[in-house]
């Protein structure tokens, strides 16, 4: 009788748990909490008068704004090439080359660089008018009268180059102002790209005060970014097939104004370049070229890397140092700023102090830091990560897949992912499935979400470019404004694995066996060239080259 009773009670408990789970999966309610959106480097940096300054390589273009004239570009290039050709290559002496590179490029990006103390030069930063605009709205507008808030209701503007800890006190006051205006008890924070670092820094300092209910990290760099890490630590390496994939990808997205903007470039010229790269990749020519480039880089990188990233300002942007992996931090500091005790290291002492603070409080503290946010502070954390695109093919992590800027393993807080052209092995999938994690394997066999730090609230979007920011909005708003939102529950038919379809006007759909295919930038790369494929690639290249020459000749005759 006792056994029967025990069995009966056990069944009741099991069915009770199932009912509770089903209820959690289907029951949702509005949770009125203001959303504060914290963007990344999309926010303009301005001079003291409010004029936008360039933080990219467009300053080298000969445009109507007069950043640099063609003559100036040629003069700069020659001044850099002289020490390269006269001392570097023949004598293997690179000090003069490094100085020339820095001295020629540094004035171009002078306003972009942070000073040796880690502060902005010349009063540059986010326009004061924009900050005042959002501060005023925080003080006067309650936008949640319909029961929920939208992602564009409140925005925290900040100079994304600075240490995230330079902003947390102001963010704390901003949060308190919004809570007073809306009469709410907690806010939700949504961080995109570099904005995630500000959220992490804020929670690390103020999270114990209980003012944050939920956080949504969208393709953030705070867990490391291989492109930044490898460049800062000098780990540059080239791959022919990954370069081809990156170029095909750039053509696909660039024609739509994303990433490398190719709007206005002649389509036939792009096709000629594409077929040329296809041929030299399959024939092994590009690999031979890269072999020579790798050998040259090994000789000059100690002069090239610090000169380049300090001159352009990138190495001085403290927020970017959140993206350097713990194991490479010391190597990166020594390469960029010089070893301890050197004059160059002393010149950046204030900045390095801020960078070291970031390392101690964020980089070295992860992932335990995020468990602390969730378990001790009660912050619910949602994450969106993208994959399927080639990251920069010039780093040691060239086989990593991501959104072209952040790798999926970093953005997802620890997902297991296959390489760009690969899938997880059948043995791995079989083993994970046997352990009950089959639902966490993506339909295309490329992602295992079960190894994420927060697997139940992490979503993945395939083939979404980092520069396409609108895709996250509906998911971020839904996660922050409603209860019981999880990837396993598939609330509102939003699955764990999604697909970004540019051909369908950027729509996002649940991933299925029908729509899970890799993009053309991957499938068009021939992994195992044959004599036939090499010959076909050569013919296609020659056809396009002949057409180009014919068009030029006909143009000359008709002019």
Please state, in angstroms and as integers, the Cα–Cα distance from residue 200 to each residue in 185, 189, 253, following that order: 20, 10, 31
In order, the DSSP letters of 372-404 are: HHHHTS--EEEEEEEESEE--TTBTTTT-EESS
Q: Which is higher by pLDDT, 258 or 473? A: 473
CA distance linking residue 291 with residue 238, whole number of Å: 8
CA distance linking residue 123 with residue 305, whole number of Å: 27
CA distance linking residue 417 with residue 420, whole number of Å: 9
Residue 261 lies in a domain: yes
Residue 91 lies in a domain: no
User: What is the pLDDT confidence band of residue 555, given thresholds at 50, 70 and 90?
Assistant: low
Give the three-class secondary structure for 236.
strand
> What mean pLDDT do residues 166-189 have?
97
Strands (E), 397-477: 401-402, 416-417, 447-448, 458-462
How is residue 40 written in tokens?
Answer: 């990344």
Distance between alpha carbon 81 and the CA centroid of its chain, in Å?
Answer: 32
360-398 burial code (b ≥16 CB/10 A, e <16): ebbbeebeebbebbeeeeebbbbbbbbbbbbbbbbbebb
CA distance linking residue 190 with residue 37, whole number of Å: 5
Q: What is the tens place of the pLDDT at every residue in 376-385?
A: 999 999 999 9
Identify the sign of the CA torsion 415, 417, 423, 425.
Answer: negative
Range(s) of the domain holding residue 138: 29-49+125-518+542-559
Answer whether residue 15 shows pLDDT above 90: no
39-50 burial code (b ≥16 CB/10 A, e <16): bbbebbbbeeee
CA distance linking residue 96 with residue 289, whole number of Å: 26
Residue 106 lies in a domain: no
Give the three-class secondary structure for 524.
coil
Q: Which of 6-15, 36-45, 70-79, 533-542 has the highest mean pLDDT?
A: 36-45
Q: Which is higher by pLDDT, 8 or 555? A: 555
Q: Which is higher by pLDDT, 409 or 266? A: 409
Residue 111 lies in a domain: no
Give the three-class secondary structure for 218.
strand
Predicted TM-score (pTM) above 0.85: yes
Residue 511 lies in a domain: yes
> What mean pLDDT do residues 532-537 have?
87
CA distance linking residue 498 with residue 496, whole number of Å: 7
* Helix, strand, coil percentages in the chain from 3-state DSSP, rounded to 5: 55, 10, 35
Please state, in angstroms and as integers, the Cα–Cα distance from residue 498 to each residue in 22, 266, 336, 437, 447, following that order: 23, 33, 39, 18, 12
Residue 14 lies in a domain: no
In order, the DSSP letters of 297-364 are: HHHHHHHHHHHHHHHSSGGG-GGGGGGS-GGGHHHHHHHHH-STTSHHHHHTHHHHHHHHHHIIIIIT
- pLDDT for the residue 9: 31
User: What is the pLDDT confidence band of residue 18, given thresholds at 50, 70 and 90?
Assistant: very low
- pLDDT for the residue 206: 98
Give the three-class secondary structure for 528.
coil
Answer whether residue 20 shows pLDDT above 60: no
CA distance linking residue 504 with residue 501, whole number of Å: 5
Residue 459 lies in a domain: yes
Q: Look at the block and give the residue holding tokens 């180009």.
A: 548
CA distance linking residue 259 with residue 21, whole number of Å: 42
Alpha helices in 419-527 (DSSP H): 426-434, 473-481, 520-523
Q: What is the tens place of the pLDDT at every residue in 237-246?
A: 888 999 999 9
Among 194, 223, 190, 201, smallest CA distance to 410 is for 223
**Among 4-18, 338-352, 463-477, whose mean pLDDT is lowest?**
4-18
Residue 63 lies in a domain: no
Answer whether residue 76 shows pLDDT above 60: yes
Give the side-chain half-sphere CA count within 13 A for 181: 21
**Among 21-25, 426-430, 541-545, whose mean pLDDT is lowest?**
21-25
Instruction: Indicate the length of the chain as a whole number.
Output: 559
Give the three-class secondary structure for 192.
strand
Answer whether residue 441 shows pLDDT above 90: yes
Distance between alpha carbon 369 and the CA centroid of its chain, in Å?
Answer: 21
344 preceded by cis ω (within 30°)? no
Number of domains in the chain: 1
């Amino acid at each position: 009788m006792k056994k029967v009773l025990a069995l009966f009670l056990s069944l009741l408990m099991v069915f009770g748990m199932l009912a509770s789970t089903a209820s959690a999966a289907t029951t949702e309610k509005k949770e009125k909490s203001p959303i504060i959106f914290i963007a990344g480097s999309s926010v303009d940096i301005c001079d003291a008068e409010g004029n936008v300054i360039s933080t990219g390589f467009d300053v080298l273009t000969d445009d109507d704004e007069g950043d640099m004239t063609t003559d100036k570009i040629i003069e700069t290039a020659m001044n850099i090439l002289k020490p390269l050709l006269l001392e570097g290559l023949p004598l293997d002496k690179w000090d003069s080359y490094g100085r020339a590179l820095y001295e020629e490029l540094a004035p171009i990006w002078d306003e972009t660089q942070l000073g040796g103390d880690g502060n902005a030069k010349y009063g540059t930063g986010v326009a004061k008018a924009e900050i005042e605009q959002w501060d005023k709205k925080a003080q006067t507008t309650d936008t949640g009268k319909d029961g929920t808030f939208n992602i564009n209701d409140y925005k925290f503007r900040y100079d994304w180059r600075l240490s995230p800890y330079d902003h947390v006190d102001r963010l704390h006051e901003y949060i308190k102002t919004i809570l007073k205006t809306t009469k709410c008890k907690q806010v939700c924070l949504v961080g995109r790209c570099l904005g995630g670092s500000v959220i992490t820094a804020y929670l690390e300092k103020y999270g114990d005060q209980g003012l944050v209910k939920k956080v949504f990290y969208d393709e953030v760099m705070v867990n490391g970014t291989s492109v930044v890490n490898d460049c800062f630590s000098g780990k540059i390496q080239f791959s022919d097939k990954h370069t081809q994939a990156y170029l095909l990808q750039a053509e696909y997205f660039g024609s739509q104004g994303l990433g490398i903007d190719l709007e206005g470039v002649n389509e036939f010229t792009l096709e000629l370049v594409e077929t040329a790269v296809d041929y030299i990749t399959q024939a092994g020519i590009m690999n031979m070229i890269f072999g020579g480039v790798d050998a040259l880089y090994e000789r000059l990188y100690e002069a090239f890397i610090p000169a380049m990233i300090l001159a352009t300002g990138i190495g001085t942007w403290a927020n970017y140092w959140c993206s350097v992996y713990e194991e490479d931090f010391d190597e990166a500091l020594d390469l960029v700023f010089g070893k301890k005790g050197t004059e160059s290291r002393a010149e950046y002492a204030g900045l390095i102090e801020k960078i070291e603070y970031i390392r101690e409080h964020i980089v070295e503290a992860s992932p335990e830091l995020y468990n602390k946010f969730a378990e001790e502070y009660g912050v619910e954390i949602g994450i969106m990560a993208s994959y399927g695109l080639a990251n920069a093919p010039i780093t040691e992590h060239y086989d990593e897949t991501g959104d072209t800027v952040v790798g999926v393993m970093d953005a997802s807080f620890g997902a297991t992912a296959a390489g760009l052209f690969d899938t997880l092995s059948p043995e791995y999938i079989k083993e994970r499935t046997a352990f009950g994690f089959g639902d966490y394997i993506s339909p295309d066999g490329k992602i295992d979400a079960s190894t994420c730090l927060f697997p139940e609230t992490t979503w993945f979007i395939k083939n979404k470019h980092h520069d396409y920011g609108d895709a996250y909005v509906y998911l971020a708003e839904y996660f922050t404004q409603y209860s019981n939102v999880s990837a396993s529950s598939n609330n509102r038919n939003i699955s764990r694995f999604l697909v970004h379809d540019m051909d369908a006007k950027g729509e996002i759909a649940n991933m299925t066996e029908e729509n899970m295919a890799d993009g053309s930038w991957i499938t068009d790369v021939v992994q195992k060239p044959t004599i036939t494929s090499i010959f076909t690639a050569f013919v296609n290249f020659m056809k396009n080259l002949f057409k180009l020459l014919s068009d030029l000749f006909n143009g000359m005759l008709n002019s």
